[in-house]
Every structure is written in structure tokens, then in C-alpha cells.
Structure 1
Amino acid sequence: MIQFIHFVVQQRTTERGFTFIEVMVAVVIITISAYGLLLGVVHARGEMRSIALRERATEELINYLEYWKGRIADGQLSVAEKAGNPRGTQIYLEGNQFSQHKVPATLYLDPIQFIPSPHPGGLRRWQLHARIRWEDFSLSSRSVQRERDLSMIMTEFE
């Protein structure tokens, strides 16, 4: 009878709880999983910021070309304006010149070219080509130079 009670007591003590090694293995697995999840979140956030900057740059580029289309439609372009803007115009995709966190970009306009129409009549065509450049720090610690180009032909009815 004493042996039976000793066996029951011994059996209960060995089945209760987790061992130290099992707890440490679980902690290591959870730590590695959390670290991987954190890296994924940081990378996704960088990608989203990079995409947002690219969309903002595209909007600015379209607005810039729309401005020049309006100037052409006005018919009051000077020779200097037709020569384009090879030095570029600085804008900010995020913030402004006084902000601590800002993303400057430069808009360039190639010379505006008149394209002669092959058909006689009241059509005049102009070729516009602009680009925007900015530096993107979203995905790495070093700067990555980004650029977007947009070209269009504007048709003007006389």
C-alpha cells in the first residue's frame, strides 16, 4: 500500500506544469516570431510611404504640365518660356522649406516644341515633356534618386 501511494504521488509531481526548457523554447519561438512581424511592419510602412511619395510626385508633374498647357492655350508664351526649364523648379512633396521633415523635388520642363501639322487647317500641335526628381529615404538608410517622366502632345484648334 505504501508503494502504491508513493507511485501516485510521484506520478502527480512529474505530470504537473512545464519544464524550464519548454518555457525557454516557447519564449525563443515567440521572440523570433515577434521580431519577424516587426520587420514586416516596418518594411510595409516604408513601402507605403514610398508609394505615397511617388503618387504625390505624379500629381505635381501632371499639375505642372496642365499649367503649361494653359499657358500655351493663352498664346502668350515668350521665347524664354518655350525654351523650357532645364535648371528646374524646386517644390516640396512633403512639408515646406521651413519644416524639419521635408521631401524636396525638382520639376524640369524640356523645350516646348511646335509640331507642324501634315494636314492644312486649324490644328496646331505642341509637344510637352516634363520630369520630376526627388530623393527617397523610405526603404533604406541611403538615399535613392527617383524620377518620373510625363510627355504629351497638346492639340490646339484655331
Structure 2
Amino acid sequence: MPSRHASTLPFLTTLLLIVMLPLWVGGCAQRQDTLYQQLGGEPGVAAIVEDFTLRLADDPDIVGFFANSNIDRFVASLEEQLCAISDGPCVYTGPPMDRAHQHMGLTDAHFNAVVAHMQQALIDQGVPSGPRNQLLGRLAQLHGEIMSLQ
């Protein structure tokens, strides 16, 4: 003869599932990945920056701006900036955009070319249009700082 506790176990298990399932499902449905996570986290950002940097190096109108730059430091700083601007776990410690770009003589054509390279790098790295547009929108907000001392 089964004990009373053995007969209540299936009931309690079912009750627990009924009570907890909406919480588990609801928690999953409400969870939103950060833009950083949608970009692929650290490896995704690193791949985007590598692709983007190679595009800059191949553009004769842009590559000259990096002639006296430490490319490794540029890459690390850009990865840090993209991580921070996309709500990742980083804090950007590089120079302010106005100071980093002062006296470079950038024009809107240069700025637009760099944006086009970033957009193509994001596309080629498989970043979906939603996160891609979010990141480009956040980067576009830097236009005023970048172009302020030109």
C-alpha cells in the first residue's frame, strides 16, 4: 500500500510546475540582450573592429590619417569604445573624441566614408539590421565632438 506522501508527490510537483512555469517563461520573455550581446560580445566586437580597421587601411582617402598612429592602441581603444557604447562591461578610457580628432582636417566626406566602412563591417560580420542601426545611431551622436575642432 503506497504511503500518503508518495501520493502527494505528483500533486506537489504538478502544483510547483503550474506556479513556477509562468515565472520562468515570463522571465525569459522579458529578458533583453544588451546591444553588446547582440553584437556578439567580446569576440563579436573584436571581429567588427578588425574588419573595420582593414577597410580603413584599404581606403586611400582615409589611411593617411593613421600614418603616425599606434594601430594596436587604436584597435584596443576602439574595441573598448564600442563595448562601452553598446552597454557592454567596459569603460572607455581613451581620449575624448574632440581631442582625438583635433587638427586632422576631417571633412564630412571623410566622416561619411568611415561610417560606410563601419556599416559594411557590421553587415559582413553578420550583425542584424536592428543592432547594426542601433550601434550606428549611437556612433552618429559622436559626429559633433569629432568634427568640432576641424
TM-score, normalising length from structure 2? 0.35
Report which structure shows greater RCO (CA 8 Å, sep ≥6). 2
Greater share of strand: 1
TM-score, normalising length from structure 1? 0.34
